[in-house]
Chain A
Amino acid sequence: MIARDRVHGIRQDEEETLSTQRYSGSSIRRLEDRRLITGRGHYVDDIAIANLAYAEIVRSPFAHARVVSIDVEEALSAPGVIAVLTAADVLPHIHASMPVIECGISDRHQTPTQYPIAEHEAVYEGEPLAVVVAENRYAAADAAALVAIDLDPLPAVVDLDAAIEPGAPTVHDGAADNIGWDVHFPPSGDIDAAFAEAAVVIKERIVQQRVCAASIECRVVLADYNDELTVWHSSQMPHFNRLYVSEALGLPESKVRFISPDVGGAFGSKMGPYAEDYLIPIASKLVGRPVKWTETRSENLATTSHGRGQVFDVEAAASAEGKLLALRVHQLADIGAYFGRTGANPVISVHLSGGCYDWPMIEARSIGVLTNKMWTGPYRGAGRPEATHLAERVMNLLAEKLDMDPVELRRRNFIREFPHKNHFGFTYDSGDYETTLDKALELANYAGLRRQQQEAREQGRYIGIGIGSYVEIAGFGPSKMTAANQDEIGLTESAVVRVHPSGSVSVFAGTHSHGQGHATAFAQIAADALGVSIDKVLVKEGDTANTPFGHGTYGSRSVPVGGMAVYTACQKVVDKGRRLAAHLLRVSVDDVEFQDGTYVARSTGVAKQIGEIAFAAYNRNLPDGMEQGLEAVAFFDPPNFTWPFGTHICVVEVDPDTGVTSILRYLAVDDCGNVINPMIVEGQIHGGVLQGVAQALLEDVVYDPESGQRAGGTFLDYLVPTINEMVPTEVYHTVTPTPSNSLGVKGVGEAGTIASSIAVINAVCDALKPFGIHHIDMPASPQRIWLALHDAPAATAAKEPVPVG
């Protein structure tokens, strides 16, 4: 039937529910890949347009400085230069500051107002100070070096603990302090007593370092400000950026068109809006020509939003029998100099800090800390990897203290009843956490691994086994729970499904694929729902001129929300078709059954194909009152988020002489509900796992603690993983459909990343246990591990581990 062999473990009962469908559940090869892998994709930088001018941004080299003066004369007289714009030229054209949505916290302590260009004060390294527009990129870059900028450096706020000390220098000159938000989530009971009476208590600081998204394609903006404004930009959410930019520029949204063509990766970093999304349209307006700006890799690492950047001080208590009692989480979230659009998004880490476990009490405090750095923003998983890392580290630390197998502690505390309302007001829709754990343990042969570990230790080799069980939040999100967070725009998703007279189908979706394979997955959904061949379906996204308002692609929402919009629009089309079929078949509407593309009159047995109905819909013989055409628009508003879950197991060996961690095995059991395309899901897990492994072992954005400038800043020292670092990942699934949508899908784009950093780190800590090392932060670089081994309480030399029971 269908090539389901690529994904293991789909349950028997699922086979039955999927069997009436023809494409969903099948590993259809991605319809977009031929074009993309043969170099025929169209990215913004590929767009050729007549009379194009090129922009270069002049940026602050300092983390914090007062702008004394900017002299553009020499740059302006350089060959090929059309204009050199500073804040004085740009700001008069901007009527609204850059947006910050609530995103988690309604009462922010302060929200620095951000404009796309610095006027009097630059507050992070890379902040725009001037825009050079020239006939070509070379002339623009040459002239940029001639812009004479006089900056007076101010103290840089870098370290989070120091930043919140009373009297600390401030990120923004004249601000009272560096607190962005400070929110307390009180416990549901007497938490002090719970800690006091607990048999075991652990306490640890867990650091999530800053990382770069480092998508293959950097950001690019091409703007043509004419009677109307057209902006091509590499983005995950063109509709929102149109909304913000049109508002700021004082233009009707209708006269602004944002187009995101093929996008070469984003991982959350291309949500925007960014400074350049305003500066380039304004430059085009002022020079009267289309203008393009293409981000360099150095700029991308510096001024495209970073991910993570959170510090947690956690305390947890458990009974002697391994029953969890209480959790206390204190979060410091590194905001950067401005919030970026997504405001207090890092608070998701707190919301999900309990993990898959039934904690009787959680107390939390979240402090957003402003610093003189690039702002942090969503990055694959956005809050859930941080939460999972924290929750699963806590479980292992408690298990170690209880002298209990970490598997057993998990088993004793899993949430088992659904729907489950957590301490922060979220309702987990469905789950079966223990089954994914059991499956992972069985497939990995956990008992055998523990034996191997013991044998290896006897030979002086240090193997570690790490477990990462997770529950995450996806499918953002029900408007009743999200609109207040999102400028009163509910997080629905949209689609138009248009059946042409010939019976072929166009799908226009408000999401935007930047690698996820929507052209395939949405076509599978539409082809099944309409009963047409997938060859007849074409999915289009990314152009505000032909798609309804949509939120874009992030938060593992495209299939559970966007896919449902496609499905719902298809249902509307089918319903109209049913009324037309009834008219043509001369039976009542109730008499007409639709299945696999055929309308059948039950009473007469006479049938019409959907293709015939489509043709008839544009003809003259329609029922009274029916308009021509066969198309529908749908905005799907989910009743709840979706809650995917799973367990990953990682096996590592740590070389105590060098501190090098080698991954020996990686196994993932994920449950994202029903699967539309198992091959795409498998790819998401592979890529996601590598991304989490890279955070665990390689990547780190390092700012100098004094100057606030980044160390390095190229791929020479920012260690993105390459294919050489790919971890062979064994991918398995269980299937627990969500009750929140009729496709039963939960979303899977981030799951791999969510579980993997902690699976690796728990394995590294497990390997280092004989040396008395309980915790290691990321990246667990060879030098960090080596230094830990040399400071380890139980080992003055790496070769003398203490015996472990």
Chain B
Amino acid sequence: MIPSAFDYHVATDVADAEAHLRDGGDDAKVLAGGMSLIPLMKTRLVEPGLLVDIGKLDELRYVRVHDERLHIGALTRHADLATNAVVRENLPLLAKVAAEVGDAQVRARGTIGGVISHADSAGDYCTVAIMLDAEIVTTRRRILAADFFLDFMTTPLEPDELVTEVIFPVEKGPSEYLKFRRRRTDWAMVGLGVQRKSDGALRVGLTNVASRAIRGTAAEVAVGEGGDAARAAAALADEVRPTGDAAVPAEYKKALVRVLAERALRGLGLS
């Protein structure tokens, strides 16, 4: 790894991180697990002047349930989410998603706050956040997921603003997350999540189909109107407008949306 030169500060607490980020301005970047940032620095696609390493802030590494909501500290790692009993009981969907992020090495280092802040359209947690109306807690405010993922790698975060927590509703009902990949450890070419909520409503989310994580509302509506899995899947495929490229044509992504939606909904017991 031969990045360009940068200053490096290990934050002692959240306030210290904020202060250093403020001083660093646009040139500063937060280092959490580093699973996206370091490859970008390695290829010099990103050349920050200052890295503020928040990895030692153990106070941001927690999982707790409070008022029927699941609070997850931003530095909680994928491996912890995948195996944490509280997560598995209160939001099994999240544990399922976490278990399929990257490979074992990535899961041992990468954090949920990192994925949310990075806001890659292929980031699986972003989809879960969008479909379940999660709240993103930062050092300054609370932002609804729908207002947070603005575009590809674009969020309302200020340069000196840190994501500290993600709050999901507790949802113990049936759920599924299907991730279409060429290799087991790849990013999703298309990902699709479904969750039967405690109030009976169905939520559908899509990964890497648009420039940001999106809800699969057409499928939700179709199911709400009594449609079966095939009809809901067809409606969803009709609704999405994926951008394709030479490697993965848009029409193929649409087909994957339909297939994954139908399979996921069948997995939830729909006919």
Contact = CB atoms under 8 A, between A and B. Distances in A.
B153 interface: no
Given A137-B2, A141-B2, A657-B259, A722 B184 contact: yes
Nearest to B252: A783
B247 A717 contact: yes
A39 B54 CA distance: 31
Of B44, B103, B259, the most chain A CB neighbours within 10 A belong to B259
A702 B44 CA distance: 22
A298 interface: yes
B43 A786 contact: no
A782 B182 contact: yes
Contacts of A781: 182
A787 B247 contact: no
B165 to A, nearest CB: 30
B255 interface: yes
B266 to A, nearest CB: 12
Give the interface SS of chain A, mostly helix, strand, loop or mixed.
loop
A711 B246 contact: yes
Contacts of A782: 182, 252
B155 to A, nearest CB: 22
A702 B246 contact: yes
A contact residues, range: 20 to 34
Contacts of B247: 702, 711, 717, 783
A783 B180 CA distance: 12
Contact of B2 (A138, A702, A719, A786): A138
A658 B258 CA distance: 10
A659 B252 CA distance: 10
A782 B183 CA distance: 11
Interface in A771-802: 781-783, 786-787
Contacts of A711: 246-247
A783 B185 contact: no
Nearest to A714: B43
Contacts of B246: 702, 711
B252 A787 contact: yes
Contacts of B12: none
A361 B211 CA distance: 57
A714 B186 CA distance: 13
A145 B248 CA distance: 33
Contacts of A138: 2, 4-5
Interface string B24-39: 0000000000000001
Of B2, B5, B180, the most chain A CB neighbours within 10 A belong to B2
Contacts of B248: 783
A658 B2 contact: no
Interface string A708-752: 000100101101011011000000000000000000000000000
Contacts of A614: none
B156 interface: no
A298 B45 CA distance: 13
A719 B184 contact: no
A296 interface: yes
B4 A722 contact: no
A633 interface: no
B256 interface: yes
B224 interface: no
B262 to A, nearest CB: 9
Interface string B146-173: 0000000000000000000000000000
Given A658-B259, A711-B246, A787-B252, A724 B5 contact: no
A724 B39 CA distance: 22
Contacts of B255: 657-658, 786
A201 interface: no
A399 B119 CA distance: 52
Given A658-B259, A786-B255, A719 B183 contact: yes
Interface string A655-669: 001110000000000
A702 B246 CA distance: 10
B2 A698 contact: no
B105 to A, nearest CB: 12
B259 A724 contact: no
A142 B5 contact: yes
A711 B183 CA distance: 19
A232 B184 CA distance: 37
A145 B2 CA distance: 13
A142 B182 contact: no
Nearest to B259: A657
A786 B182 CA distance: 14
Contacts of B39: 714, 716
Contacts of A137: 2
A757 B255 CA distance: 27
B166 to A, nearest CB: 26
A355 B183 CA distance: 32
Nearest to B190: A658
A724 B185 contact: yes
A142 B184 contact: no
Given A137-B2, A658-B259, A714-B43, A787 B249 contact: yes
Contacts of A725: 183-184
Contacts of A722: 103, 183-185
Given A138-B5, A141-B2, A714-B43, A724 B184 contact: yes
A142 B259 CA distance: 48
Contacts of B180: 658
A657 B258 CA distance: 9
A714 B252 CA distance: 23
A657 B249 CA distance: 15
B43 A298 contact: yes
Nearest to A659: B252
A57 to B, nearest CB: 13
Interface in B1-21: 2, 4-5
Interface string A121-145: 0000000000000000110011001
Contacts of B182: 698, 719, 781-782
Contacts of B186: 719
Of A658, A711, A714, A719, the most chain B CB neighbours within 10 A belong to A658
Interface in A654-686: 657-659
Interface in B170-205: 180, 182-187
Contacts of A145: 4, 44
B184 to A, nearest CB: 4
Contacts of A716: 39, 187
Given A142-B4, A698-B183, A721-B183, 13 more contacts: A138-B5, A141-B2, A145-B44, A298-B43, A698-B182, A711-B247, A716-B39, A716-B187, A719-B182, A719-B186, A722-B184, A783-B249, A787-B252
Interface of A: 137-138, 141-142, 145, 296, 298, 657-659, 698, 702, 711, 714, 716-717, 719, 721-722, 724-725, 781-783, 786-787
In the complex, the 5 A-B pairs of residues with the closest C-beta atoms, listed nearest first: A724-B184, A657-B259, A141-B2, A783-B252, A137-B2
13 contacts: A141-B2, A142-B4, A145-B4, A658-B256, A711-B247, A717-B247, A719-B182, A724-B183, A724-B184, A724-B185, A782-B252, A783-B252, A786-B252
